[in-house]
């Protein structure tokens, strides 16, 4: 039956590779050991080629991108929230805190239109995120609003960021990736999107 869950070990869809096996596969695929320790890669590494390709895009956008890191993290958290991707939200909550981003702004992506702390550029990129998630495309008015603040290269990267973490939200949910040890879902108040489960 389409959409039927095929549980693996522990009731999950696929077993999480043990750490040693994940690291060995990651090393062969050119994926850093630190990534191999994350549950997302301990499941993606069932297919090392796909994991390596996904890691390459993640590495480029996270560490060598030109989109402002604060804007990137707001976009990712918004995608995690709208998509109900608890792993994405939780990981990037911690990434955002490590970047010293304001916790009130992070929580506010859940209802960003009502948050007075967001200015025109935040509103433009969050609207672009919502439109892409809902319609598969950024509308003309929102594109123009983004273009008031971002140059052509950064606009391309914004679309790539939305697409990449939209893809990851779907991967994480479809592969039923469990949270890493010691991570609590939907920080800081534990409230998740309606119908979302860790």
pTM for the model: 0.92
Whether residue 99 contacts residue 73, with contact meaning beta carbons closer than 8 Å, is answered with yes
The verdict on 153 and 97 lying in the same domain is yes
pLDDT (tens digit per residue) in 12-47: 899 999 999 999 999 999 999 999 999 999 999 999
**Domains in the chain, number:** 2
The verdict on 73 and 169 lying in the same domain is yes
Quick one: how many helices (H) and strands (E) in the chain? 10, 0
Does residue 107 lie in a domain region?
Answer: yes
pLDDT (tens digit per residue) in 100-119: 999 999 999 999 999 999 99
| Residue 6 pLDDT greater than 50, yes or no | no
CA–CA gap between residue 136 and residue 163 (Å, rounded) = 9
Report the pLDDT value the prediction gives residue 195, as an integer from 0 to 100.
65
| Residue 7 pLDDT greater than 80, yes or no | no
Per the prediction, the chain carries an average pLDDT of 92
CA distances from 54 to 57, 78, 127, 129, 170 (A): 5, 20, 25, 20, 13
The verdict on 81 and 24 lying in the same domain is no
The verdict on 35 and 112 lying in the same domain is no
Number of Cβ within 10 Å of residue 191's Cβ equals 12
Question: Count of residues for the chain?
Answer: 198
Whether residue 158 contacts residue 107, with contact meaning beta carbons closer than 8 Å, is answered with no
| Residue 9 pLDDT greater than 50, yes or no | no
Percent pLDDT > 70 in the chain is 92
| Residue 196 pLDDT greater than 80, yes or no | no
The verdict on 78 and 56 lying in the same domain is no
Does residue 154 lie in a domain region?
Answer: yes
Does residue 86 lie in a domain region?
Answer: yes
The verdict on 88 and 33 lying in the same domain is no
CA–CA gap between residue 159 and residue 177 (Å, rounded) = 25
Does residue 181 lie in a domain region?
Answer: no
CA–CA gap between residue 172 and residue 185 (Å, rounded) = 14
Report the pLDDT value the prediction gives residue 50, as an integer from 0 to 100.
98
The verdict on 147 and 85 lying in the same domain is yes
Least confident of 1-10, 29-38, 44-53: 1-10
The verdict on 130 and 57 lying in the same domain is no
The verdict on 57 and 76 lying in the same domain is no
Does residue 198 lie in a domain region?
Answer: no
Does residue 157 lie in a domain region?
Answer: yes
Whether residue 187 contacts residue 90, with contact meaning beta carbons closer than 8 Å, is answered with yes
- CB contact burial 9-42 (16+ within 10 A = b; e otherwise): eeebebebbeeeebbebbeebebeeebbeebbbb
The verdict on 75 and 138 lying in the same domain is yes
Structural domain containing residue 161: 69-174
| Residue 198 pLDDT greater than 80, yes or no | no
């Amino acid at each position: 039956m389409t959409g039927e869950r095929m549980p693996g070990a522990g009731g999950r869809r696929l077993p999480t590779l043990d750490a040693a096996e994940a690291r060995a596969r990651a090393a062969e695929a050119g994926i850093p050991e630190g990534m191999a320790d994350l549950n997302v890669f301990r499941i993606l590494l069932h297919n090392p080629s796909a994991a390596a390709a996904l890691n390459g895009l993640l590495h480029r956008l996270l560490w060598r991108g030109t989109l402002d890191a604060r804007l990137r993290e707001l976009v990712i958290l918004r995608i995690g929230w709208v998509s109900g991707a608890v792993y994405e939200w939780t990981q990037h909550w911690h990434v955002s805190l490590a970047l010293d981003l304001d916790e009130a702004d992070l929580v506010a992506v859940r209802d960003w239109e009502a948050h007075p702390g967001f200015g025109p550029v935040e509103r433009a990129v969050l609207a672009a995120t919502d439109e892409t998630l809902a319609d598969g495309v950024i509308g003309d008015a929102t594109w123009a609003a983004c273009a008031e603040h971002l140059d052509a290269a950064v606009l391309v990267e914004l679309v790539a960021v939305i697409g990449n973490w939209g893809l990851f939200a779907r991967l994480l949910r479809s592969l039923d990736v469990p949270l890493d040890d010691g991570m609590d879902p939907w920080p800081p108040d534990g409230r998740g999107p309606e119908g979302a489960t860790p």
